[in-house]
Amino acid sequence: MLALHNAPFPWRAKKVNLLIASYLFYAAWNPPFVILLWISTVVDWYVAKAIFRSESQTRRRSWLVVSIAVNLGILGFFKYGTFLLENFVTIVGALGFDFQPAAPSIILPIGISFYTFQTMAYSLDVYLRRAKPAGRFLDFALFVTFFPQLVAGPIVRPTQLIPQFAEPKRASSKQLMWGLGLMTLGIFEKVVLADGALAPASEAVFGAGGTVPFVDAWLGAMAFGGQIFCDFAGYSTTAIGAALCLGFSLPNNFRYPYAAVGFSDFWGRWHISLSTWLRDYLYIPLGGNRKGRRRTYINLALTMLLGGLWHGAAWTFVAWGALHAAYLMLERWLRETFGESLIARKAHAQFVMGFFTYLLVNVTWVFFRAQDFGSAWSLVGSMFGFTAGATPALAGIYIIQAVVVIAVILVTHVWMRERELEDVVTATPSWLVGLVWAGMLFAIIITQGGGDAFIYFQF
Amino acid sequence: MRMDETERRIPDQPWPRVGLFVLIAVVIATAGWEMYWRSNYFNSGEYVNSNGLWAIQRRAASEQAHPTVIIGSSRIFFDVNLDVWERVTGDRPIQLALEGTGPRPFLHDLAEDATFEGVVIVGYTPPLVFLDAFDLRLDAIDYYKTESPSEFIGQRLSMMLEARLAFLDGSNTPLFNILKNIPLESRDGVNPPHMSPRKLMTTGADRSTKMWSRVEQDTTYRKLARDIWVFLIEGLPKPPPDAPPFDPTPVFESVKTDVDKIRARGGDVVFVRPPSMAIWRDLENGGFPRERFWDPLLEYTNTGGVHFEDNSALQGLELPEWSHLAASEAEKYTEALAPLVLKALETREGVKDPSPGGSAK
């Protein structure tokens, strides 16, 4: 791709190359599912044009409903079809009916949650008059399928990416080098930190099959918290780097979330592209905080519950969303009741608040990772001292790996909380930049990697 | 870059110089790493025993007309030398055995494959044949069935590197496996990661496999391998004293079903019991005596079999860690085994030495 992108072809030809490469990239997982990408692309291209041309609000709304129905329909069938059927069987069973449907075998298309939200954002932005439809179908198709961010984000807004396709883009040598550096950092986070260092501890605890001691429970949850951060942030960083190598800019998706002070702050730092999408297209249209206190809490809860469900078709994901909703509502209530003084500006108070935020986030990760509620509650019980009959799950080497890497992550996040990576790298001696980069690359090579998929590919 | 920005900032650094430094440093470090492993019994030209490598051979088993296929666990994986078998019989078998995994799911997979019409040589390691708990590499079958284009390409790209780099081994050499193998004191109730089996074999592009030279030449490493077997065997859960004896009938039935399907398409099945000794042989003969398991299996399924205890030519061979033949011994074993397997296929009986000295040594 780099060679083709830097060859002396017309810009339109290069965009066609990128589009074909993106379809091939997606097809490399499962070729028939490219059809879903096409459906989403074609429907939203025509819907957005129809919305833009329509004078009648009723007609505009109707076209929007078409876009939402198609995108959520695809998402609903492939992602939630089995889940809905299982719950339907449970409900009718509770009512005394023995309904045994044929076992469905629905494959979850990779990246479906990401690209359907991205194309819906396009139609929604046109409907809300935040943006005009793209001038060229090629630019829009490329916006939907752009391979660096196709399968796991960042979920990019049309106004961020489509204008970049309007004029020729080619990475300067500086962009190429920084892009390669970001790709190295991302792959290092995924292969070395997530899969190599943290996954063994996480898997040992979550796969223990029985009650584990207090230390194992917390370390296992924190190891998973570190693993999912390094895995997902690693993917996002790699995607940003790959796009930069081609001359395109994607937004940050994480901003050192484990240094968050409170949950509003956390959601401004974790999976930023999703949290802002939910804010702009769900929370605010529902009324946000403009319709009174009670309605604000309802809107908050609904947004977080749906945010949990977005991650996966299981009640444990809904529980994860519900916990975050509860935390956010409690935080809002405390702020409204006691004023901003509670979240004191003093460093030690911020540190304590940040520490508790981190601990509470790790409690939510238990529901995110656990296979079922039984094992989730068992682990949460262990985290709060209910450890009767506990059997250790973690070997010494996994404890050491987890503790070291978690400590490094936390120190890094706290130190980088108000900093930008680009500024830190600029201020670092070049020999040290080179040494760290070479160290990460060498670590990737000697870790070898087991080819484990990114966790967020399943969403 | 924030969500409301559209242009990423680039840190101010002399990037060409930094990039050159990184390239040189990584090449030197990787070369040093490669040299270190090459001086410690690792060689290039050996391949990672991955699901992708297995899938290549599994595909060949479906595509070839009348193939000879080997399934089973690590014993038959190490002990049958594909070059010697080809020289003796004129037919090169396809190696589908996988370590730590029982053969029945693979027999079933071949039985359900309408395109497969060959001969299946089933490695018989008693616990792995009769107990479902041995499923270490069972995911190979699903991988084969669902292999994506990217995985297909990735396997071939990886093999290009594995052919040239000794450290791309997948077992002892990855960084976190090195850390895992540090002998730290274990916590009560936790299996110490360093007491799981280490590298014992080397594998070629067509999965022809033999014992790793270090096991044969390095007495300390060999002792470690034995110690690990002792640790694992002593840690196996023991059935309660009042538990009823294990009933192998369901296993016989499922095997017969699969054997009959393969025979209906013109193929056949034969069982081979490779040699073992010491703690392994005690466990296998004690827990799975042949008069309750091996002999009835052959009779129930009407298949032939070659048991090492019945044939003097298959005995007295060196098993450095009690479970797998040394590389040179595997050549001798295969040379003697091949004609016996052909005879067993012909007679559909257990093949024994004709002389009275055919009993176990």
The whole-angstrom separation of Cα A264 and Cα A270 is: 10
The alpha helices in A134-271, defined as continuous H runs, are 137-145, 147-150, 158-161, 173-187, 199-206, 214-245, 263-267
Residue B59, domain member (yes or no): no
Are A126 and A213 within one domain?
Answer: no
**Angle made by CA atoms B85, B90, B92, in degrees to the nearest 5:** 55
- Per-residue confidence (pLDDT) for residue A77, from 0 to 100: 84
| Structural domain of A30 | 2-169
End-to-end Cα separation, chain B, in angstroms: 74
**Angle made by CA atoms A99, A101, A104, in degrees to the nearest 5:** 150
Burial call A329-361: b when 16+ CB within 10 Å, e when fewer: bebbeeeeeeeeeebeeeeeebeebbeebbebb
- Answer whether B191 sits within 8 Å of A397, measured CB to CB: no
How many structural domains does chain B have?
2
- Per-residue confidence (pLDDT) for residue A269, from 0 to 100: 97
Residue B193, domain member (yes or no): no
Contacts of A246 (CB under 8 A, 6+ apart): A1, A2, A5, A18, A148, A169, A170, A171, A179
Residue B243, domain member (yes or no): yes
pLDDT at B96 > cutoff 50: yes
User: Given phi > 0 = left and psi -120 to 50 = alpha, else beta, which region is B357?
Assistant: alpha
Q: What share of chain B is helix, strand, coil (3-state, %, to 5)?
A: 50, 10, 40
pLDDT (tens digit, 9 = 90+) per residue, A97-150? Answer: 777 776 666 677 788 888 888 888 999 999 999 889 999 999 999 999 999 988
Which of A117, A146, A169 is where one domain is finished? A169
pLDDT at A457 > cutoff 90: no
Report the CATH number that the domain containing residue B255 is assigned in CATH.
Answer: 3.40.50
- Answer whether B3 sits within 8 Å of A443, measured CB to CB: no
Are B28 and B88 within one domain?
Answer: no
DSSP state of B187: P
- Per-residue confidence (pLDDT) for residue B117, from 0 to 100: 95
Alpha carbon separation from A392 to A199, A367, A386, B15 (Å, rounded): 17, 20, 14, 48
Pick from A276, A422, A445: CB nearest B9 = A422
- Reported as a pLDDT band with limits 50, 70 and 90, residue A32 is confident
A192 contact residues in B (CB cutoff 8 A): 175
Least confident of A113-117, A413-417, B329-333: A113-117
- Answer whether B190 sits within 8 Å of A393, measured CB to CB: yes
Residue B291 at interface with chain A, using a CB cutoff of 8 Å: no
- Per-residue confidence (pLDDT) for residue B241, from 0 to 100: 82
CA neighbours closer than 13 Å in the CB half-sphere of residue A118 = 30
- Answer whether B186 sits within 8 Å of A249, measured CB to CB: no
Residue A241 at interface with chain B, using a CB cutoff of 8 Å: no
Least confident of A111-115, A235-239, A375-379: A111-115
Pick from A251, A394, A423: CB nearest B5 = A251
Are A141 and A67 within one domain?
Answer: yes
Q: Return residues 258-297 of A near B (CB < 8 Å).
A: 272-273, 276
- Reported as a pLDDT band with limits 50, 70 and 90, residue B181 is very high
Q: By the 8 A CB rule, do B203 and B43 touch?
A: no
Residue A432 at interface with chain B, using a CB cutoff of 8 Å: no
Are A78 and A196 within one domain?
Answer: no
A contact test, residue of B2, B4, B10, B143 with most A CBs within 10 A: B10
- Reported as a pLDDT band with limits 50, 70 and 90, residue A92 is confident
Are A156 and A204 within one domain?
Answer: no
Are B123 and B26 within one domain?
Answer: no
pLDDT at A443 > cutoff 80: yes
Residue B180 at interface with chain A, using a CB cutoff of 8 Å: yes
- Per-residue confidence (pLDDT) for residue B359, from 0 to 100: 45
Are A122 and A241 within one domain?
Answer: no
Which of A143, A169, A195 is where one domain is finished? A169
Cis geometry, peptide bond prior to residue A154 (ω within 30 degrees of 0): yes
Are A6 and A135 within one domain?
Answer: yes
Residue B231 at interface with chain A, using a CB cutoff of 8 Å: no
Share of chain A above pLDDT 90, in %: 66
Are A393 and A253 within one domain?
Answer: yes
Residue A257, domain member (yes or no): yes
Which of A145, A169, A193 is where one domain is finished? A169
Residue A18 tokens read as 């990128």
- Answer whether A178 sits within 8 Å of B15, measured CB to CB: yes
Nearest-Cα distance to chain A for B172, in Å, is 11
SS3 B206: coil
The whole-angstrom separation of Cα B276 and Cα B282 is: 9
Pick from B6, B10, B13: CB nearest A175 = B10
Residue B170 at interface with chain A, using a CB cutoff of 8 Å: yes
**Pick the catalytic residue: A271, A311, A324, A413?**
A311
pLDDT (tens digit, 9 = 90+) per residue, A51-63? Answer: 999 989 999 999 9
Are A148 and A186 within one domain?
Answer: no
Q: Kindly state the average pLDDT of the residues A403-408.
A: 98
Of A210, A53, A31, the residue nearest A126 (C-alpha)? A53
- Per-residue confidence (pLDDT) for residue A377, from 0 to 100: 96
Residue A328, domain member (yes or no): no
Q: Return residues 98-157 of B near A (CB < 8 Å).
A: 148-151, 153-154
Are B245 and B277 within one domain?
Answer: yes
| Structural domain of B224 | 65-142+202-354
pLDDT at A65 > cutoff 50: yes
User: Given phi > 0 = left and psi -120 to 50 = alpha, else beta, which region is A288?
Assistant: left
Residue B122, domain member (yes or no): yes
The whole-angstrom separation of Cα B182 and Cα B133 is: 27
pLDDT (tens digit, 9 = 90+) per residue, B44-85? Answer: 999 999 999 999 999 999 999 999 999 999 999 999 999 999
Residue A351, domain member (yes or no): yes
Are B137 and B20 within one domain?
Answer: no
Are B70 and B38 within one domain?
Answer: no
Of A186, A179, A225, A184, the residue nearest A202 (C-alpha)? A225
The whole-angstrom separation of Cα A360 and Cα A323 is: 9
Residue B28 at interface with chain A, using a CB cutoff of 8 Å: no
Alpha carbon separation from B257 to A129, A455, B114, B142, B267 (Å, rounded): 67, 40, 14, 21, 14
A426 contact residues in B (CB cutoff 8 A): 11-13
Residue A323 tokens read as 């916990």
Average pLDDT, chain A: 91
Are A116 and A183 within one domain?
Answer: no
B2 contact residues in A (CB cutoff 8 A): 251-252
Least confident of A55-64, A95-104, A230-239, A381-390: A95-104
pLDDT at B108 > cutoff 70: yes
Are B104 and B22 within one domain?
Answer: no
DSSP state of B95: E
B151 contact residues in A (CB cutoff 8 A): 451
Residue A219, domain member (yes or no): yes
Are B336 and B236 within one domain?
Answer: yes
Q: Kindly state the average pLDDT of the residues A187-208.
A: 96
- Per-residue confidence (pLDDT) for residue A75, from 0 to 100: 85
pLDDT (tens digit, 9 = 90+) per residue, B213-238? Answer: 999 999 999 999 999 999 999 988 88
Least confident of A147-161, A223-237, A367-381, B152-166: A147-161
Residue B137, domain member (yes or no): yes
How many structural domains does chain A have?
2
Pick from B1, B6, B33: CB nearest A446 = B33
- pTM for the predicted model, two decimal places: 0.92
Of B81, B93, B160, B147, the residue nearest B120 (C-alpha)? B93
Residue B237 at interface with chain A, using a CB cutoff of 8 Å: no
Q: Kindly state the average pLDDT of the residues B340-355.
A: 89
- Indicate if A413 belongs to the active site: no
B195 contact residues in A (CB cutoff 8 A): none
A445 contact residues in B (CB cutoff 8 A): 26, 30, 33
Residue A280, domain member (yes or no): no
Residue B229, domain member (yes or no): yes
pLDDT at A287 > cutoff 80: yes
A172 contact residues in B (CB cutoff 8 A): 10
- Answer whether B168 sits within 8 Å of A401, measured CB to CB: no
SS3 B255: helix
Q: Kindly state the average pLDDT of the residues A267-287.
A: 93
- Per-residue confidence (pLDDT) for residue A341, from 0 to 100: 67
Nearest-Cα distance to chain B for A306, in Å, is 22
Residue A125 tokens read as 């932005």
Are B234 and B349 within one domain?
Answer: yes
pLDDT at A342 > cutoff 60: no
Residue B184 at interface with chain A, using a CB cutoff of 8 Å: yes
Residue B220 tokens read as 């300390």
B contact test, residue of A445, A447, A452, A457 with most B CBs within 10 A: A445
Of B278, B280, B266, B191, the residue nearest B235 (C-alpha)? B191
Alpha carbon separation from A3 to A171, A182, B64, B188 (Å, rounded): 12, 20, 40, 57
Residue B183 at interface with chain A, using a CB cutoff of 8 Å: no
pLDDT at B361 > cutoff 50: no
- Per-residue confidence (pLDDT) for residue A458, from 0 to 100: 64
- Count CB neighbours of B323 within 10 A: 26
- Per-residue confidence (pLDDT) for residue B355, from 0 to 100: 59
- Per-residue confidence (pLDDT) for residue B358, from 0 to 100: 46
- Reported as a pLDDT band with limits 50, 70 and 90, residue B239 is confident
Comparing alpha-carbon positions, the chain B residue that sits nearest to A254 is B2
B173 contact residues in A (CB cutoff 8 A): 446, 448
Residue B259, domain member (yes or no): yes
Residue A297, domain member (yes or no): no
Q: By the 8 A CB rule, do A77 and A106 touch?
A: yes
Residue B162, domain member (yes or no): no
A273 contact residues in B (CB cutoff 8 A): 3
Size of interface A-B (CB pairs under 8 A): 146
Residue A268, domain member (yes or no): no
Average pLDDT, chain B: 93
- Per-residue confidence (pLDDT) for residue A95, from 0 to 100: 84
- Answer whether A177 sits within 8 Å of B2, measured CB to CB: no
Burial call B33-61: b when 16+ CB within 10 Å, e when fewer: bbeebeeebbeeebbbbbbbbbbbbbeeb
Q: By the 8 A CB rule, do B43 and B35 touch?
A: no
Are B208 and B326 within one domain?
Answer: yes
Residue A65, domain member (yes or no): yes
